[in-house]
Structure formats: C-alpha cells, structure tokens
C-alpha cells in the first residue's frame, strides 16, 4: 500500500512542495494540508516543512503552534504517528512543546545557506530507523535561527535517552552539543534544521536526504498508522 504523507502548509511555508516532490520520488503520496484544517486526514506520517510560518513574527513557530491544524498534529503524535519538523517545522515543534529546547539566532548572527556534513547518532527515530549510527550525510541548511539550545538537564536527558538524532560534524551555528536534530522519547516525533528534501537528487549536489526520508516512509509504512486509525 502506498504510504501517504501529510505536509502541512502554513501561511509562509515555502518547502511543502519540495517535501511532496521528494517523498513522491521515493514512491509515497503526499497531501498538502492547510494549517486552518482541523484534521491531518488519512495519512501515515506528517511533515511540518520549512519556511516562515506566519512570517516568523514574534518568534519562529510561536504563532504557528496555535494554528488549528496543530491540535490534530499533537493528537497524531501522541497516538504514535510519525511527525517530522524540518527547519521552521522543528521550530514549530519546540514552540508546541512536542520537542524540548528552543532554536535561537545563529552564533555569529548570520543567515546560513550551505551544505553541511551530518552524522547520524541514533537509529531509534522514525527518520533514521535502519540507518547505521555513524553514517555521514551531506545535507543543506538554510536558517537564521538554528542554534539549538536547552538547559543542562534537558541536554543530559537527550544524550542519556539516545534522543540526539543527527549532529553536525563541523558546527555551523553554535548549537549546544553540535545538535542538528532530536526526537521525543518515543522516537516518532523528530525535528531537525537541515533539509533532507533538498538533497534527494545527485543533480542538486547530494542524494543523502533519501536515506532519511526513505527511513521515514519505511517507519510510516511499518506503523501503518492511517490503516490502524481507520
């Protein structure tokens, strides 16, 4: 059965079609879901894409977390459904308290748009299931507020509970612990600043993003969340 991915579009999102294209190239179907809807529909996974939801006013993600769709995303996540926030989507997930910590302005106060090297830290998240820890990936980042921060207790919990998903091998933005992405205790909610959907074809410099999105689709297919919910 074809895996269906719901990609949430907020006013100001700008990566929803890239995500839809990328998961489509991997054999999945994508539904663009409007932020004003109250249901994510019959999907097996949800992606909160990059962009500037609600103009990033106040703080990135601060207004998006109150969009009507977020209650459905929270319910989907708490039922074990795979939810991935990419870049602005990661910021939305922290503001919605689905992931701990916060993303502040990059060290050095510069907008960063470059390809970086990541190391997969754990395979217990839906985005890295089946990917050998230690695997290195080349994936672009494109953000001003990507400097992950949290208190000491949260950082130790993330490390002890094996919830750091990907790390930068050469920290570009000042993130604590070189963290590029984390997951919730269940491993089904993942947030990361790099954009795997922009690295899905050798023509654009790297196809390493396919490893992550492929893992997400396998996780989503195995959980078969939409079928279970029907």
Partner 1 sequence: MTRFSAMVEVTLRPGIADPQGTTIERALPALGFETISGVRAGKAFRFEVEAADEVAARREVEDLCRRFLTNPVIEDSMVTLELAQ
| 54 tagged catalytic | no
Of residues 29 and 159, the one with the C-beta less far from partner 1:
159
Confirm or reject binding of residue 55 to partner 1 (CB under 8 A).
no
Which of 31, 39, 59, 171 is in the footprint of partner 1 by CB under 8 A?
59
Residues 6+ apart with CB under 8 A from 170: 116, 117
Scan residues 130-149 and list those touching partner 1 (CB under 8 A): 147, 149
Which of 26, 80, 105, 112 is in the footprint of partner 1 by CB under 8 A?
105
Confirm or reject binding of residue 71 to partner 1 (CB under 8 A).
no
CA 154 to CA 160: how far, in whole Å?
A: 10
Whether the Cβ atoms of residue 103 and residue 96 lie closer than 8 Å to each other? no
Confirm or reject binding of residue 219 to partner 1 (CB under 8 A).
no
Tokens describing residue 210 = 């396919």
- Residue 19's SS3 state is helix
Parallel, antiparallel or unpaired: strands 136-143 and 112-120: antiparallel
Binding residues for partner 1, rule CB under 8 A, total: 19
Confirm or reject binding of residue 107 to partner 1 (CB under 8 A).
yes
Confirm or reject binding of residue 112 to partner 1 (CB under 8 A).
no
Confirm or reject binding of residue 67 to partner 1 (CB under 8 A).
no
Instruction: Tell me which H or E stretch contains 89.
Output: helix 88-95
Active-site position among 35, 54, 143, 195:
195
| 161 tagged catalytic | no
Question: By C-alpha distance, which of 39, 51, 43 is closest to 3?
Answer: 43
Question: By C-alpha distance, which of 215, 193, 29 is closest to 99?
Answer: 193
Confirm or reject binding of residue 157 to partner 1 (CB under 8 A).
no
Confirm or reject binding of residue 58 to partner 1 (CB under 8 A).
yes
| 195 tagged catalytic | yes
DSSP structural state of residue 45: E
Instruction: Give least dist CB 181 to partner 1, A.
Output: 17
Phi/psi at 83 (5° precision) = -130, 125
Active-site position among 87, 150, 183, 200:
87
Question: By C-alpha distance, which of 54, 49, 73 is closest to 191?
Answer: 49
Instruction: Give least dist CB 60 to partner 1, A.
Output: 10
CA 10 to CA 33: how far, in whole Å?
A: 9
Kindly tell me the burial class for residue 86, based on how many C-beta atoms sit within 10 Å of its own C-beta (0-12, 13-18, 19 or more). Answer: buried
Of residues 10 and 225, the one with the C-beta less far from partner 1:
10
Of residues 137 and 150, the one with the C-beta less far from partner 1:
150
Residues that bind partner 1 (CB under 8 A): 58-59, 62, 94-95, 100-102, 104-109, 147, 149-151, 174
User: Which residues are identified as catalytic?
Assistant: 87, 195, 197
């Amino acid at each position: 059965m074809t895996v269906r991915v719901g990609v949430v579009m907020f006013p100001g999102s700008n990566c929803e079609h890239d995500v839809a294209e990328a998961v489509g190239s991997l054999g999945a179907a994508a539904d663009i879901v409007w932020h004003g809807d109250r249901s994510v529909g019959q999907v097996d996974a949800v992606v909160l894409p990059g962009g500037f939801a609600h103009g990033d006013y106040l703080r990135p993600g601060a207004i998006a977390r109150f969009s009507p769709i977020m209650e459905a995303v929270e319910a989907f996540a708490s039922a074990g459904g795979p939810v991935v926030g990419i870049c602005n989507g990661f910021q939305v997930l922290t503001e919605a308290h689905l992931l701990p910590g916060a993303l502040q302005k990059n060290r050095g106060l510069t907008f960063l748009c470059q390809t970086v090297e990541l190391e997969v830290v754990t395979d217990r998240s839906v985005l890295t299931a089946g990917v050998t820890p230690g695997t290195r990936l080349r994936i672009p980042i494109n953000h001003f507020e990507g400097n992950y921060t949290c208190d000491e207790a949260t950082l130790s919990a993330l490390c002890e509970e094996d919830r750091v998903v990907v790390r930068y091998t050469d920290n570009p933005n000042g993130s604590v612990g070189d963290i590029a992405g984390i997951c919730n205790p269940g491993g089904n909610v993942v947030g990361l600043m790099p954009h795997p959907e922009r690295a899905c074809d050798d023509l654009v410099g790297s196809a390493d993003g396919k490893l992550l999105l492929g893992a997400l689709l396998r996780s989503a297919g195995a959980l078969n969340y939409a079928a279970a919910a029907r």
